[in-house]
Amino acid sequence: MSINFLKVAQAADLQGRDRFLYRVLEILPAFLSLGTLLALIIFSYLKPVGVAYFIIVFDVYWLILVFFLSLHLIAAYRELKKNIKIDWREKCQNLPGWQDLTQLVILPVYQESEEIIKACLDSIINEEYPLDKFIIVLTAEERAGEEQLEKCRRIVSEYKTKFKNFLFTAHPDGITGELKGKGANQGWAARLVKQEIIDPQKFDYDKIIVSVFDIDTVIRQGYFYRLVYAWLTVPNPLRTSYQPIPVYNNNLWESPFFSRVSSMSNTFWQMMQQVRQEKLATYSSHSMSFRALTEIDFWAPNMVSEDSRIFWHCFCHYNGDYRVEPLYFPVSMDVCMDKSNWRTIKNLYKQQRRWGWGVENMPYLVFNVIKRWQTMPKKEALSRIFVQIYGFHAWATNALIIAIIGWLPLIIGGTDFNATALSGNLPLVTRTLMTLAMFGLVLSAIISTLLLPKRPTKYGFGKIIEIIIQWIFLPVIIIVFGSFPALESQTRLALGGKWRLGFWVTPKQR
C-alpha cells in the first residue's frame, strides 16, 4: 500500500528503511541536547581548562545574540505600533477585489467557558468587517460531554444570525487513526463546512481565507482588514500563511508573575521571528488559503503540534514554494492561569512541554526533504532544517549552560584547575558578560510595559512596578519553564512508544 509521507506522524507509521531513518531522526534532538550537556559535565571534570574557554566563548556568543535579538525585538515593536495606527479598512478599499473574499473562521472548543467563547465571537463582530463575508465554524469535542455541547448550542443560537453562515459541529470521539487533539477537530470541521456550505453554495476556493483561532483569541479591531491587505499584496496569496503576533493580555493583570514572564517571553520570541521571515513558521492562531488547505487534504488527524505542522506540510507539499507572511499585528490571548498558583505552575509546565513537543516537526521535515530531494530547493531546505535543529537545541540547552554548567569547572575541575589564573578569572569574565547581557532584561521590561492592556481600577500603580520587577526572575523561569520541558519533550520523542505526548488542552481561567 502506498504511504503518503506528508501525513506521517511518527516512525511507527512506516516500514523497513523508512521506519529506521525516521526513528533515527526522532532520537537526534535528544541525542544532541543531552549529549551536549553530558559532554560538558564530563569534560568539566576531565578537561576543565577546555570547558572554561568554551564557557567564555559561549558567554560572548550569548551576549552578541542578546544584542542581535534585541534589535529585532525593537524593530518588530516599532512595526507593530505603526500597523495598529493604520486605517487598514481604508487601505483595503483602495484595492480591487477585497470584497470578493470570504473569511472562514474555525474555532475549536473543548471545555472553555461561555465567557471565553463569546469574547472571541464578539471581537470578530466588533471588527466592523462586513459580517456577510464570514463563515464561522464552532467545533466542539463530543467527549467534552453533553453539558458543554448544550452550552455551545446556546451560543450558536444567539450568534448565528449575525454572520452569513454559522456552522456548529461536535467532533466525534474515537475515530480510528485520530489523536485526541485540536488538529483532528479542525480537520473534521473543515471537511464538514466544505461539504455543507462551501461546495453547495459554490464558493470559490481561491477566494476563501481560512483563519484558525484558539478559542481564547480576541482579535484587535482592524485585524481582518490587515489580513486582507496582506493577501492582496503578497506575490502568491494561495501559497502563503499569515501570522499575527500573539500577545497574552486577556487575563494578564490577574495572572501570577511567573506565568506572565513565560507568556511575554513567548510573545517577544514571536515578535522577533516576524523580522526573521526565513525562520518564521505558523504558530497558534493564523490564517491561510482554503485552496492550499484542500490540496494538502487538511490537517493531519494524528498530530499534537498541528499549528506549525500545517506550515511544514505545505512547505514540503509545494516543494519549498510556501512561506509565512508576518502581519506585525497583535491578537490577544490568555496567560496560563488556574485557581491556585500551584495548579498554574503544573499547567504552565505542561503547556510549555506541549509547545516543546513541536520538536516532532524536525524529523518530519528532514525525512520529507530527503524524500523530495530532487525537487526541493536545496539551499532553502537545508536552511530550514538547520534552523529547526539549532532552535530546539538552543531551547533545551542554552539556559542550563549559562546558569549551571558554566560553573562546573570551578566545582569539579579539581585543585590543579583551581590553582590557575583562568579559574580565578572565569567568574569575573562570566559575571561581566552576563551583566552586559542584562540589557535584554531591561528591554524586555520596557516593552512588556508598553504592551500592557488598560489597567483595571482594582489594581494600583504598584502592579505596574511588579510587572517591571518580575523580569529579574527570567533566568530561573527560562530554565524551569523552558529548558526542562523542552528536554523532557525531546527525551520522550527519542524514547517513543508510550512516552510520546498526546494533546493537552491548557485550562482557561479569567
Q: CA-to-CA distance for 321 and 240, rounded, in angstroms?
A: 9
Give domain status of residue 189, yes or no. yes
Q: CA-to-CA distance for 208 and 104, rounded, in angstroms?
A: 7
Give domain status of residue 159, yes or no. yes
| Per-residue pLDDT at 118 | 97
What's the average model confidence in pLDDT over 350-364?
Answer: 96
| Per-residue pLDDT at 444 | 87
Give domain status of residue 108, yes or no. yes
17 is written with which cell numbers? 528503511
| Per-residue pLDDT at 176 | 87
- pLDDT, tens digit (0-9, with 9 covering 90-100), for 106-135: 999 999 999 999 999 999 999 889 999 999
**DSSP state for residue 127 in the 8-state scheme:** T
- pLDDT, tens digit (0-9, with 9 covering 90-100), for 428-478: 888 888 888 888 888 888 998 899 888 998 888 889 899 889 999 999 999
- pLDDT, tens digit (0-9, with 9 covering 90-100), for 208-227: 999 999 999 999 999 999 99
Give domain status of residue 502, yes or no. no
Give domain status of residue 397, yes or no. no
- pLDDT, tens digit (0-9, with 9 covering 90-100), for 278-334: 889 999 999 999 999 999 999 988 889 999 999 999 999 999 999 999 999 999 999
CA-wise closest residue to 224 among 154, 127, 135: 127
CB atoms under 10 Å from CB of 428, counted, come to 9
- pLDDT, tens digit (0-9, with 9 covering 90-100), for 137-148: 999 999 999 999
Tally of structural domains, the chain: 1
383 confidence band (pLDDT: 50, 70, 90):
very high
Q: What is the pTM of this model?
A: 0.94
What's the average model confidence in pLDDT over 204-208?
Answer: 98
| Per-residue pLDDT at 379 | 94
| Per-residue pLDDT at 1 | 52
Give domain status of residue 15, yes or no. no
By percentage, how much of the chain surpasses pLDDT 70? 100
pLDDT at position 77 over 60: yes
Judge contact between 479 and 25, C-beta under 8 A. no
| Domain boundaries, position 313 | 69-336
The domain that contains 294 carries what CATH number?
A: 3.90.550.10
Q: CA-to-CA distance for 90 and 437, rounded, in angstroms?
A: 43
Give domain status of residue 11, yes or no. no
Give domain status of residue 179, yes or no. yes
The C-alpha angle 232, 238, 244, rounded to 5 degrees, equals 65
Q: CA-to-CA distance for 307 and 296, rounded, in angstroms?
A: 14
